[in-house]
């Protein structure tokens, strides 16, 4: 059965393609750093977070199609922060924006299933359209949230090759024999041997997507619900990944703007998979301040469209 088959909600990948076509690839980060709250004239409190989040949502609506709240900045304020986050997410979804909760959760068994239920269950207080997730315990460990995402038309972005330099040694390390157990993929012992950790995550996500999409040939005509995080400041070749490995999956690309990547390089970075990239920009937009944030979103969306259209 395909992701949009009988009895199932329209797949996240199909929804994402619709957003790309209607509103472009820009994803506006909602990252209420303490310095930004101060620059915006807001208190570093639950109420300040709420006001910041709602202002960014108002600025993004009609100018971009995707927002990405960074959960950590809300979590700092406990229940007040989560209340602000819930309201921000609700307002964004009500405005027609696709919401990616940048939660980076990861665990196994019933614990990781509970994380999936928190962020991906329709009607849940924190319901988003997708979430970032870690598979450090193995891609097979996140089977429960993967299934939740596919049933509910939600998405997952699995950390693979991230933009922070501290991750390189681990993510570029070569997998030994005896590794397997992908998400319903039939990956056997040793099949990923010789691949880097990052590449093996991409491989296992692809195998799981193949099974769900009833296809052994994945291409850019369809996007699956489960994708990966590939930082815009990395070189795919350094991780043993090629752009052809990525052509059927959504890619969350952090690192644009403040971290140094520029839009003109997007095709050089992601190759044939560039059209799948959710292009995330946070501080480069938010630094414009409350009076100019809408203009900054418009300008960046137009700049990105010139590259990808």
CATH number of 12-308: 3.20.20.70
Q: 261 pLDDT exceeds 90?
A: no
Question: Whole-angstrom Cα distance, residue 91 to residue 104?
Answer: 22
3-state helix, strand, coil in the chain (%, to 5): 45, 15, 35
As given in the structure block, the two tokens for residue 273 are: 């998979």
Residue 185: what pLDDT? 43
Q: How many CA atoms lie within 13 A of 62 on its CB side?
A: 4
Alpha helix (H) residue ranges in the chain: 12-23, 34-39, 46-60, 71-75, 78-94, 109-120, 143-152, 168-171, 197-212, 266-270, 283-286, 293-308
Considering the entire predicted model, what is its pTM? Answer: 0.91
Q: Are 246 and 222 in contact (CB under 8 A)?
A: no
Q: Is 182's pLDDT higher than 70?
A: no
Q: Tell me the per-residue pLDDT of 13-47, one tens digit each, with 9 for 90 and over.
A: 999 999 999 999 999 999 999 999 999 999 999 99
Q: How many residues are recorded in the chain?
A: 309
Mean pLDDT of 260-289: 94
Active-site residue, selected from the candidate residues 14, 68, 104, 154: 104
- Rg of the Cα atoms in the chain: 18
For position 194, what pLDDT does the model report?
A: 87
pLDDT reported for residue 183:
46
pLDDT digits (tens, 9 = 90+) for 85-135: 999 999 999 999 999 999 999 999 999 999 999 999 999 999 999 999 999
What pLDDT, on a 0 to 100 scale, did the predictor assign at position 178? 56
At residue 187, does pLDDT exceed 70? no
The percent of residues in the chain predicted with pLDDT above 70, rounded, is 89
pLDDT of residue 7: 41
Average pLDDT, the chain: 90
Predicted confidence (pLDDT) at residue 8 exceeds the cutoff of 80: no
Q: Domain extents for the chain? A: 12-308
Rounded average pLDDT over 162-182: 81
Q: Has residue 291 got a pLDDT over 90? A: yes
Percent of the chain with pLDDT over 90: 82
Decide if 135 contacts 159 (C-beta within 8 A).
yes
Task: Specify whether 104 is catalytic.
Answer: yes
| Rounded Cα gap, residues 220 and 203, in angstroms | 16
- Read off the pLDDT of residues 230-259 as tens digits, 9 standing for 90 and up: 999 999 999 999 999 999 999 999 988 777
Decide if pLDDT at 226 tops 60. Answer: yes
Quote the pLDDT of residue 211. Answer: 80
Residue 116 burial by CB count (10 A; 0-12/13-18/19+): exposed, middle or buried? buried
* CA pair distance 300, 31, nearest whole angstrom: 17
């Amino acid at each position: 059965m395909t992701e949009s088959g009988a009895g199932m909600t329209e797949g996240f990948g199909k929804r994402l393609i619709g957003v790309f076509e209607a509103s472009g690839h820009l994803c506006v980060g909602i990252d209420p750093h303490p310095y930004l709250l101060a620059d915006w004239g807001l208190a570093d409190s639950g109420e300040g977070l709420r006001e910041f989040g709602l202002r960014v949502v108002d600025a993004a609506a009609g100018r971009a199609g995707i927002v990405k709240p960074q959960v950590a900045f809300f979590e700092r304020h406990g229940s007040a922060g989560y209340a602000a986050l819930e309201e921000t997410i609700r307002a964004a979804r009500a405005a027609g924006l696709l919401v990616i909760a940048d939660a980076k959760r990861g665990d196994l068994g019933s614990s990781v299933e509970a994380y999936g239920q928190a962020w991906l269950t329709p009607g849940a207080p924190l319901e988003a359209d997708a979430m970032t997730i870690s598979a450090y315990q193995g891609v097979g460990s996140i089977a429960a949230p993967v299934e939740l995402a596919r049933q509910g038309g939600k998405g997952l972005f699995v950390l693979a090759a991230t933009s922070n330099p501290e991750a390189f040694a681990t993510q570029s390390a070569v997998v030994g024999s005896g590794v397997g157990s992908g998400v319903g993929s039939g990956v056997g012992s040793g099949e990923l041997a010789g691949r880097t950790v990052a590449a093996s995550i991409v491989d296992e996500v692809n195998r799981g997507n193949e099974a769900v999409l009833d296809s052994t040939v994945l291409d850019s005509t369809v996007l699956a619900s489960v994708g990966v995080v590939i930082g815009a400041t990395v070189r795919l070749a350094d991780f043993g990944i090629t752009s052809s490995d990525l052509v059927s999956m959504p890619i969350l690309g952090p690192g644009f703007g403040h971290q140094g990547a520029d839009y003109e390089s997007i095709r050089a970075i992601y190759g044939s998979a560039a059209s799948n990239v959710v292009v995330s920009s946070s501080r480069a937009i938010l630094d414009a301040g409350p009076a100019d944030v809408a203009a900054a979103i418009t300008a960046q969306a137009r700049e990105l469209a010139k590259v990808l259209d």
